[in-house]
Amino acid sequence: MIRRLCVLGLAAACGAGSSFTREPLLVDGSFQPGRGPDGNSVFLDAPRGLILVDTGRHPAHQERLLEHARRAGKPIVAIVNTHWHLDHTGGNAEILAAYPKAEIVATTAVEGALVDFFPKSRSGAEAYLKSGQASPEQHAEIERDFAAVDAPQTLRPTRPIEASGPVEVAGRTLDVHVAKHAATAADLWLVEAATRTVIAGDLVVAPVPFLDTACASGWQRALGEIAATRFDRLIPGHGAPMSRADFDAWRAAFDGLVACAASPADPTACIDGWRASAATFIPAGDEARIGEMVKYYVEVRLRDAEAQRQACEAR
């Protein structure tokens, strides 16, 4: 589904009288059982073409992105990657194949992933393939992930972002923020002031925070920075757009999960706490799967002091 976010219905906010449309356009991602997710993608119009925030993982998602560009009659001239997870960057190669002049705007945190996370993840994925347990779709997905990592030039920024501030992209100034040691070693999030919209990447994830490479304290600090921003709508890395009240509720649930993990409580209490406080964001019938993910994150990520130390010190 593709949604236009024209906040408050104000003509000025929607770009009336300007040379380009200011409202963000969301191309929904997916989070289906048995397959890797696609993160949300967002188009921003600019004088020299389209800016695409995140590119998903699966070919069907990238085809939706390319179809939008064809319908718009404008080239994709820039890719902004909020972070390096492949459900947000795995489609870079497909987009660059169609628009080879597009620049990549991102932090350099992917460099650490290329020498640490990706090789470790690949080893586990190769073992899974050899076990014969992977479905044909999973096998194809894993091979696509391998191909993405084997073409690091499609993941590395051509315009590295080191600090928060205004960044001119394709003739449009973006309000870009860098969150250090949060979901990854460095995440980007954007404020679209004309429509009072925050594009948060995986600093906000509707069903459950993806904590695989996270520093919990840095993530909480980033959420505090978002909370201090004036906005009416927030586009998360996964899930439907949120109101300010939705974000506040999600943030409270996140803080509760981190506090539970830091306590001696049984992981079941943390699962129950997340499913209760984040119930609005969990699709009906998905409670068990989300509970399994919370259990893993509490036991393997949040309660592993060394894992947290490494994530919070990653460069």
- Convert the pLDDT of each residue in 179-212 to its tens digit: 999 999 999 999 998 899 999 999 999 999 999 9
Q: How confident is the model at residue 9 (pLDDT cuts 50, 70, 90)?
A: very low
> pLDDT tens, 208-220?
999 999 999 999 9
Mean pLDDT calculated for residue range 160-165: 97
Give the confidence band of 313 by pLDDT, cuts at 50, 70, 90.
confident
- Does the pLDDT at position 16 exceed 80? no
Say how many residues make up the chain. Answer: 315
The enclosing domain of 116 has a CATH number of 3.60.15.10
- Write out the residue range of the structural domain in which residue 280 sits: 2-313
For residue 119, count CB atoms less than 10 angstroms from its CB and return exposed for 0-12, middle for 13-18, buried for 19 or more.
exposed
Burial class (CB in 10 A: 0-12, 13-18, 19+), 101: exposed
Q: Is 237 in a helix, a strand, or coil?
A: strand
Taking only the tens place, the pLDDT of each residue in 124-155 is 999 999 999 999 999 999 999 999 999 999 99
In tens, the pLDDT along 77-117 reads: 999 999 999 999 999 999 999 999 999 999 999 999 999 99
Domain count, the chain: 1
Q: What is the enclosing helix (H) or strand (E) of 273?
A: helix 267-277
Q: What is the pLDDT averaged over residues 7-12?
A: 26
Compute the distance between CA of residue 252 and CA of residue 175 in angstroms, rounded to an integer. Answer: 25
> What pLDDT, on the 0 to 100 scale, is given for residue 22?
67
Percent with pLDDT over 90 in the chain: 89
- In this prediction, residues 59-88 reach a mean pLDDT of 98
Axis crossing angle, helix 267-277 with helix 244-262, rounded to the nearest 10 = 170
Distance CA 194, CA 73 (A): 23
The pLDDT, as a whole number, for residue 234 is 98
255 residue type, one letter: D
Q: How confident is the model at residue 15 (pLDDT cuts 50, 70, 90)?
A: very low
Q: Which residues contact 269 (CB under 8 A, 6 or more apart)?
A: 260
CB atoms within 10 A of CB 105: 22
How is residue 236 annotated by DSSP? Answer: E
Q: Render pLDDT for 28-52 as a digit per residue (tens, 0 to 9).
A: 999 999 899 999 999 999 999 999 9
Residue 158 has which token pair? 């051509």
The C-alpha torsion from 299 through 305 and 309 to 311, rounded to 10°, is: 0
Confidence of residue 240 (pLDDT cuts 50, 70, 90): very high
Q: What are 128's two structure tokens? A: 């899974």
pLDDT-based confidence at residue 315 (cuts at 50, 70, 90): low
pLDDT value, residue 314: 72
**Confidence category of residue 6, pLDDT binned at 50, 70, 90:** very low
Give the pLDDT mean for 53-68. 98
Q: Which long-range contacts (CB under 8 A, 24 or more apart) does 60-65 make?
A: 61/27, 61/29, 61/30, 61/91, 62/91, 62/94, 62/95, 64/2, 64/27, 65/27, 65/41, 65/91, 65/95
* pLDDT category of residue 18 using cuts at 50, 70 and 90: very low
Q: Please give the pLDDT value at position 49.
A: 97
pLDDT of residue 57: 97
Q: Mean pLDDT throughout 296-302?
A: 96
Give yes or no for residue 248 having a pLDDT over 90.
yes
Mean pLDDT, residues 12-37 taken together? 71
